[in-house]
Every structure is written in C-alpha cells, then in structure tokens.
Amino acid sequence: METLTPEKKEVRYAGFWLRFVAYIIDDLILGFVSFIVSLPFIGGIVFSALGMSKCSEFNDSTFLGIAGIVGSVFALILVNVAAGWLYYSLMESSKTQATLGKMALSLKVTDLEGNKISFGRATGRYFGKIISGMIMMIGYILAGITEKKQALHDMMAGCLVIRD
C-alpha cells in the first residue's frame, strides 16, 4: 500500500472486478438515458424510411429521405458519444469524484496525489478508454495486474481509482 500526502491516508486501489461492476451499473444507467434521448432520432429515421418506401424511382424526395436518415444516424451517434463523455467527465471531476456506479461501490477517481481531477483530465481519461479497448481490451485488463490497479487510460491521464 502507498500513502498519500498531505493527509497520510492509506490508499486502497480499486481492482478490475470492482471497476467492472461499477461500469455495468453506469452502462445500465447511461443506456436507459440514451435510449430515451434517442427516441426522436429513431423516429426521424423511421419516418424518413417510410417516406422513401412510397417512391418507386429515385427523385428529390428519395434524396431527402436518404439525407434524413443519414442526418438522424449522425445526430444519434453524436448525442450518444456526448452523453457518455459528459456523464463520465462531469461526474468524475465533480466533488464526488465518481460516477453513480463508482459511488455505489465507494470508489473515487483521483490524480496520482489523491486530489480531485479536472474536467480536462477526466475528458482525457474518458477518450483514453477508446485506446484501452482497441487493443483487445488489454488496456482494461491492466487494472487487474498493475501495482496501482491502473488501466491504460488511467496511466495516460495520470489517474487512480481508489476505494474510499
């Protein structure tokens, strides 16, 4: 165990399985919210497709239908990425230093000295998860085998996930 300055508090790092359970809780919450927020975009896709199905040849209304579908899909992706980014970054840089899943398991995200992280650092940590996942999830698995239980995105952002 390592001790943090200035309070000389003993640090208990959160390992892979605790973090995985917190992720499942967060994913369920974010999935539900994203589904509700996505409904108007899904409606736009459906109505655009229905409008196109009435056309027997390619014309202006077919083009508008395709544009409506592409625009709705793009907006849907953008809204879902923004929702995930804001959820994780705002919550982990807040005074609670944790998402709802992490709070349920008494976990906190800190910098290497045990301090609250900034929104910018939380943003870097969030988008660093893309790299952690791209390499066959090895970036996430590191949280189970490194000394400080850091995943690759934690190392990149200079963060720790600790048990409170």
For the whole model, what pTM was predicted?
0.85
With contact defined as beta carbons under 8 Å apart, do 94 and 135 qualify?
no
Distance CA 162, CA 101 (A): 13
Distance CA 163, CA 114 (A): 11
Per-residue confidence of the chain (164 residues) as pLDDT tens digits? 454 555 557 899 999 999 999 999 999 999 999 999 999 888 888 877 777 766 667 666 677 778 878 888 898 999 999 999 999 999 999 999 999 999 999 999 999 999 999 999 999 999 999 999 999 999 999 999 999 999 999 999 999 999 99
3-state secondary structure of 106: coil
Tell me which DSSP letter residue 156 carries.
H
**Whole-number pLDDT of residue 157:** 98
**Whole-number pLDDT of residue 2:** 54
Residue with tokens 């589904």: 35
Task: List the structure tokens of 15.
Answer: 């390992």
Number of helices (H) and strands (E) in the chain: give both, helices first.
6, 4
- 3-state SS of the chain: helix, strand, coil percent to 5? 65, 10, 25
